[in-house]
Amino acid sequence: MSRQIGPKLLPPPELVEALLSRDNFLIATHVNPDGDAIGSCLALSDALNSLGKKCVLLDKHPIPAQYLFLPGQDKFETFEAFNASGKKIADFDTLVMVDCNHPDRIGLSTKELIPAIEELKRALAGGMFTVVIDHHQTENGFGNIRWISPETAATGMLVYAAIKKMGVTITQAIAKNIYTAIVTDTGNFRFDNTNAEVFRVAAELIDYGVSSSETYENAFESYSGGRFRLFLGVIGTLWIDGNIAVSTVTTKMFEETSTAADDTEAFVSFPMLMKDIRIAMLIRELKDGTCKVSLRSKGAIDVARVAEQFNGGGHKNAAESKPVWQRQSACCSKSSGK
Ligand SMILES: [Mn+2]
């Protein structure tokens, strides 16, 4: 069962060589991790483990509830847990950044004083060997070995190609993680980035024993009651101007529904159900009174360019700003429905 996947998914030889020749890996992904981030990291760590290598998976934030079904998810550690277990960043020879391409995105720009973060910042400043595997359009040259492929739908596709090139046996756990990575970033195969290559890889993964319906139910039909009430609240804030839809979520709405930022995943896209909406925005109030804006678009409209104006970035049809605006500006007041 080893069909040849397309030429776009050929990992750089130096990337495969680095993964095969190094032994102690820190694998880190972006803050507020999504299914692509988590699934890609888990698959990569299983592959490296099967070759006898040591991996620790790091993330700034805990795994969101909808991804707790992923095989091996309990291997993720927050930076605090990493410290508590007595490990040292200096014991690792390689950092692999997955589904992101800058240290800020893995949480190193935080103002909190966390020893593992300080250690990692020092290690990177001292030249710690770093491999980047990512598909975001917004990038800035960080890393010793970089495979950044914005035309690829999900980082999971890149990780899968790298794993195959390393000669690792694809287990059902690897297949489930990669499949979930792909369905997350393609919106279950409906976004513009869903090309033939995506279906070819998905078909292979189904052959390895992944259930598409089970994955869909776990990843998309698993809202808690609180998350669903939050969703109803966000829909209630909807404001439309022409082909642009804006919704908002405030810290008060999170408190009232006992939910958190990761519960808003995919909320930004719901106004796209309306025929004429081309751009959707979700403005999320942060605890410090600033706001982050998630952007989605259809077709040729490039919202990554918009997010870059606000120091953020992402993909053509899906991007996010850095924190903008202060409380008392219009952005976070509750709008009436329309
Ligand atoms: Mn991704």
264-308 tens-digit pLDDT: 989 999 999 999 999 999 999 999 989 999 999 999 999 999 999
Q: Is the pTM above the cut of 0.85?
A: yes
Q: Is 202 exposed, middle or buried (0-12, 13-18, 19+ CB in 10 A)?
A: buried
| Ligand 1 mean position, distance from CA 307 (Å) | 16
3-class SS of residue 6? coil
| Ligand 1 mean position, distance from CA 314 (Å) | 9
Enumerate residues with CB within 5 Å of ligand 1 (an ion): 36, 99, 155, 185
Q: Give the pLDDT band (50/70/90) at residue 4.
A: low
Task: Judge whether 169 and 47 are in contact, CB under 8 Å.
Answer: no
**pLDDT of 192 above 90:** no
**pLDDT of 231 above 60:** yes
What six digits make up the tokens of 213? 């319906």
**The dihedral sign for the CA sequence 229, 211, 193, 45:** positive
Structure confidence at residue 327 (pLDDT): 54
Query: What do you get for the CA distance between the two ends of the chain, in Å?
Result: 53
Q: Read off the pLDDT of residues 78-91 as tens digits, 9 standing for 90 and up.
A: 999 999 999 999 99
Neighbour-count burial for 290-313, b at 16+ CB within 10 Å, e otherwise: bbbbbbbbeeeebbbebbbebebb
* DSSP code at position 285: E
Task: Judge whether 186 and 154 are in contact, CB under 8 Å.
Answer: yes
